[in-house]
Structures are given as C-alpha cells and as structure tokens.
Amino acid sequence: MSSAIAQLLDGKALSQRIQTHLIQQIQQLEPQKGRPPGLAVLMVGDNPASAAYVRNKERACTNVGIASFGKHFPTKTTQAELEQTIQALNEDDRVDGILVQLPLPPHLDAVALLNQIHPDKDADGLHPVNMGRLLRGEPGLRSCTPAGVMWMLQEYGINPKGKHAVVVGRSILVGKPQSLMLLEANATVTIAHSQTADLAAITRTADILIPAVGRPGLITADMVKPGAAVIDVGMNRVTEPDGKSRLVGDVDYDSVQAIAGYLTPVPGGVGPMTVAMLLKNTIESYERRI
C-alpha cells in the first residue's frame, strides 16, 4: 500500500476564485442593466441548518454584488401564501433567481412550490424544465451541487472521459443530475443506492466516486480503488461524546485519504462550490435577461 496521501480538492479556495470572476462580470454588466442582479431565497420555519445555509448564501450575494430579496416565513405559513410570493417574484424585474430553501415543514408541498418558479429564474436548477434540458444536453440552469462537482473535477484536471464514475445516491438534488452531467462528460456511469447489492464491490471499481446519501462514514478505505478521485457530497452533523457537534461527510476521511488519489474535505469541499454555482446561475439568468 502506498504511503502517499490523497491530494485535497479545496472547494473553498476554488469558490473564492469563481466569486472574484463573478464580481468582475457584474461590474461589466450592471451599467447596461441599470441594476444589480437579484436573488430571492425563501425560507420557512426555523431549521438551524437551513438558517445557516441561508446566511451563507446571503453573505455570498453581498460579497459579489447580488441584491438579496430573501424572505423568511414562520413555520405555519400556508402553501397558497408561498405560491403567491413566488408568482410575485416571477414577475419582479429586479429578481433574476428564486430559491426555496429545503427541507420545508411537513405540511408544505415542496415539489409544487419548486414547479411554481419560472424555469429561467430557477437558481437551484431543479425545475422539471431545467432537468429536461440537462437530460437532453441543452443549455439551461444546472443543479448547483452536481455542477459544482463537475467544475471541481475540471479545475483539478480530473477528466471523466472514459472513466468509470460511481454515484452513490439517486436524489433529484444530487444523484440523478450528477449522473447525467458525468454522462455528458463521457464517463461510464453507475448509480448505486440503498437497494444496491454489495455496494463495496461496485465502489471499488470507480475511478471517480461520488457518495451523496447523508450517512456518516459510509465509504471506508476498503471500498475505494487506489488512486480514485473521491468527491464527498455528504453533509452530516454528528455529536461527539463531549457534546460538541461537527460536520462530516459520507466518507471515512482518515482511512480513505491514504488510498484515494484525490479527496474533498467536509466542510470546505463541495459546500462552497454549491454556493458559487448558485451565484453563477443567478448571474447567468441576469445576463440572459439583458
């Protein structure tokens, strides 16, 4: 076994570089448009993790020069109220991107709300029209997390062409769009999930392994092909024996870093890239509407 340690893929530094470029883009576009780009993040209830994500997104907007039209609703807000808000934002010329922060309280229908967002203002890239565009290989707003993963692979010179990519998880947020994007980049793609028999036998054949299931430490060293690129999309908050909590991924980081060729940290890997892609989507629809 080699004693080499995996090269870290630094999503935080890469996200900073992307944001610097976006600042320049806005400075060029704003004089033509007469206003800055606008993003509306809608949050319902008081889920602490969601609140932290929303704060991150709004801070990132401020940093690059995107106007925030965020709205925070109490938990008991009705479906109709939210649908009316989305309709108003669809028609608001100052708003280029709309995002509904998930998860929502159980009485709300998230899919119906996401479908209300105009596809060209769908900052999260989750509208069926944008998913259809991805499936057909047509231009459109792309789902932020998988797009961030693809950007990262490109930046670090990991070309999926001809490689075997294994995506663990089949969610509409990550697993499915991720698989389509890898396919578009000419990888041979396997999607594994909770019903997969002998997960380890499949993950061990992956040149590029992308776990996205939300199970801490699911991927251990014996499940990874030596030299593989492991992109950890999992974000799990675990509580230590001393009562402190920390964020970990789906990968058992300490053991896997001795086997993998490339590895993303959690936090500081895919998370910052997701935010960068959200800003990029907002500016893309801003530019398209000029």
Q: Which of the following is catalytic: 25, 57, 257, 280?
A: 57
Active site residue 207: no
Backbone angles phi, psi at 144, to 5 degrees: -65, -50
CB burial string 212-227: b at 16+ within 10 A, e below: bbeebbbbebebbbee
Active site residue 124: yes
Active site residue 120: no
Q: Which of the following is catalytic: 19, 25, 96, 101?
A: 101
Rounded to whole angstroms, the Cα distance separating 275 from 145 reads 8
H helices within the chain, ranges in order? 11-33, 48-64, 79-91, 110-116, 128-136, 144-155, 175-184, 199-203, 253-256, 270-288
For residues 169 and 212, is the Cβ–Cβ distance under 8 A? yes
Q: Which of the following is catalytic: 96, 122, 124, 207?
A: 124
What single letter denotes the amino acid at residue 58? E
Catalytic positions: 57, 101, 124
